[in-house]
Amino acid sequence: MLTIGFDAKRAFLNYTGLGNYSRSVITSLAQNFPEHQFILYTTKEKNNNRTAKLSQLNNAMVVTPKFPFFKSAWRSRFVVPTLQQHKLDIYHGLSHEIPMGIQHTNIKTVVTIHDLIFLRYPQFYKSIDRKIYEAKFRNACTNADVVVAISEQTKRDIIAYFDIAAEKIKVVYQSCDDIFKLSNDDVQRQAVKLKYNLPEEYLLTVGTIEERKNLVLLAKALKNAPKHVQLVVVGKQTTYAEKVKQYLAAEQLTARVHFLENVSFNDLPYIYQLAKIFVYPSRFEGFGIPILEALHCGVPVIAATGSCLEEAGGPYSIYINPDDANGLSEQINLILNNSDVANDMVAKGKIYAAAFTEARQAQQLMDIYLDLMRV
């Protein structure tokens, strides 16, 4: 039996990308390998419908700091004596970090690196944030026994930016939440359509509305799509959203674009299912989980070249240059006007997405842990 610890802060406190990944890893490992003990270290425990599975695991326990102050310092450094007291075999930092000094213990360490976008596109980040991220990420990659990258693109970046040996890095693809794999429910789908006042036919994009996500390209392509086809944008708005809205107003497209924030996670699969096409023109991602969600929901996908999105979308999705609005509009119209193309993309996309399972992710991670214990 192994005792494996996780940095579970984001599993309990983050309800988007890094949180979804952390919950997926912890629950899939605990459920698929009940013979092992898992300890979840978090600065704060929250119990809600998103974290319920964590509290229901029979072979997992949650540990929080005993003192109310300096919780971030506990997580990044002072947790190490507690890890030793618990006689951990392995500690896995699920989001770019391992505690300072853990390399001087007998605990084996693994860290997951999701992306190094802050180094590739520094203009999108504050200087102080870049310095903090680089110090934490570099420390983790240098001192961990194994680095898990969530895509081949991220692996290449870790090698390029941090000069980490390729053999130290293992690529383990993510899955997405099982909620996106459920069968269609016409009643619930119509209820969601009414709840959010969704148009009859729409393109969909999901993700924070920030410059890197390149929403303005999709807005430009919308001009050349049929006038009855609209665009639904699901995601938190940043200052970049105002730039997009200014463009929409100037081009008289405002009425054709619907911005949705604070969408219920349980409603999101139906918003995908109702879409004609999912478009993800992001200039750079670590993996692109929304693409996988769309494929599971039976939606044709168009994404951008230049990072790892081909890994998420597979060979049956369509990829365009992130600066080519005309190319994007051509591909949108191809799918909208050709049901055979759309149906083929949906059928083959579902088959491709089916390979990304939590069970497979759990097995690959457990293989890494067991190999570490043999060293």
Dump pLDDT digits (tens) for 338-362. 999 999 999 999 999 999 999 999 9
pLDDT at 100 over 90: yes
Strands (E) in 235-338, as ranges, are 257-260, 277-280, 301-304, 318-320
In 3-state terms, what secondary structure has residue 300?
A: coil
Distance CA(244)–CA(340), nearest Å, equals: 33
- Residue 29: the pLDDT is 97
- Residue 194: the pLDDT is 97
What average pLDDT score do residues 98-102 get? 96
- Residue 22: the pLDDT is 96
What does the pLDDT look like over 78-95, one tens digit per residue? Answer: 999 999 999 999 999 999
Q: In terms of pLDDT, which residue wins out, 56 or 113?
A: 113
Beta bridge partners of 186: none
Q: Of all helices (H) and strands (E), which one includes residue 112?
A: strand 108-113
Would residue 96 be called left, alpha or beta, if left means φ above 0 and alpha means ψ between -120 and 50 degrees? left
Rg (CA), the chain: 21
Distance CA(216)–CA(325), nearest Å, equals: 9
At 55, the pLDDT band (50, 70, 90 cuts) reads confident
In 3-state terms, what secondary structure has residue 280?
A: strand
- Residue 97: the pLDDT is 96
pLDDT at 285 over 90: yes
What average pLDDT score do residues 324-332 get? 97
- Percent of all residues in the chain with a pLDDT value above 70, rounded to a whole number: 100
